[in-house]
Amino acid sequence: MTSPQPEGLDVARVEEILAAAAGHQTLRDRMEFFSSQFIGLPYTLNPLRGSAETPEVFTASLDGFDCVTYVETVLALSLSSNAGEFVEWLRRIRYQNGQIAWETRNHYMTAWLRNNSRAGVVHPVAAEKLAVKKELLLDVIKGLPAVSTHIWCVPKRRFAEWEPKLATGDLIFFVSTRTHLDVFHCGILVRKDGRLLLHNAARSRKGVLAQDLEEFLKENRMSGVMVTRPVGVPRSPKP
């Protein structure tokens, strides 16, 4: 199935940025390269269009992001060799089974992680005995039925024990202290000069930036952290 042309897509720009990444062969290197390309771009509030009352519009702008669309865009680019593959990956990453509709968009990050793990796009980084279980009743999105679920996350106080296992290109998700919301922020990890940087689109900083992960952890309250790793090599998405 061919993806529809997304609103805001600049094909020439996508092809240009993909060509610039030609020397980056591994998925890890490509995640670092593409996540760095957007540093300095503005934060975009609510960049996706659609609601329970209005039709979903598939979008693919590279002009600004929120934290989720930043992660999705970088991941889709990293898996692609041309603009057509980028559009296809973005659709399949953002929507359950790639079906474009507001109801099938991965609104909660627990759904995003579950669906992309099942699709073979990402795989959780094992936390062994560090993770703790959190029960949730997700009901903050108007128009979606409440969902009872649970997650396993590593508490912030135990993160230093887990940190050596994390790598450039890993996706990190910060778990909310609220029982009605799963994740309040996400980003991409880059290991540089012996420390972990967080590449992320931050509303509080009004744009995409690289910041010290340790600094972010100190500044923000959270129940814990989840990390998943993009898997495989750049390839065409399965039909």
Locate the domains of the chain by residue range: 11-118, 122-230
159 sits in which H/E element = helix 159-162
Other residues' Cβ atoms within 10 Å of the Cβ of residue 46: 7
Residue type, 116: N
167 sits in which H/E element = none
pLDDT value of residue 234: 47
pLDDT value of residue 128: 85
Q: For residue 144, what pLDDT band results from cuts at 50, 70 and 90?
A: very high
Q: For residue 42, what pLDDT band results from cuts at 50, 70 and 90?
A: very high
Across 174-194, average pLDDT: 96
Tens-place pLDDT, residues 107-140: 999 999 999 999 999 999 999 899 999 999 999 9
| Strand stretches in the chain, DSSP E | 122-124, 132-138, 147-153, 171-175, 183-192, 195-202, 207-212, 224-230
Tens-place pLDDT, residues 162-178: 999 999 999 999 999 99
Q: What is the residue-averaged pLDDT of the chain?
A: 95
- Structure tokens belonging to residue 145: 């039925």
Give percent of the chain with pLDDT exceeding 90.
Answer: 93
Q: For residue 4, what pLDDT band results from cuts at 50, 70 and 90?
A: confident
* Top-level class of domain 122-230: mainly beta
Q: How far is Cα 179 from Cα 150, in angstroms, rounded to an integer?
A: 10
- Structure tokens belonging to residue 78: 């990293």
Over 80: is that where the pLDDT of 69 sits? yes
DSSP letter (8 states) at residue 140 = -
Same fold yes or no, 11-118 and 122-230: no
Over 80: is that where the pLDDT of 238 sits? no
Beta carbons within 8 Å of 63's beta carbon, 6+ residues apart: 8, 41, 42, 44
Tens-place pLDDT, residues 193-237: 989 999 999 999 999 999 999 999 999 999 999 999 999 654 555
Q: How far is Cα 36 from Cα 41, in angstroms, rounded to an integer?
A: 11
Tens-place pLDDT, residues 148-167: 999 999 999 999 999 999 99
Which CATH number does the domain 11-118 belong to among 1.10.260.40, 2.30.110.10, 1.10.3670.10, 3.40.50.1580? 1.10.3670.10
115 sits in which H/E element = helix 109-118
- Measure Cα distances from 228 to 114, 149, 160, 171 in Å: 11, 18, 17, 5
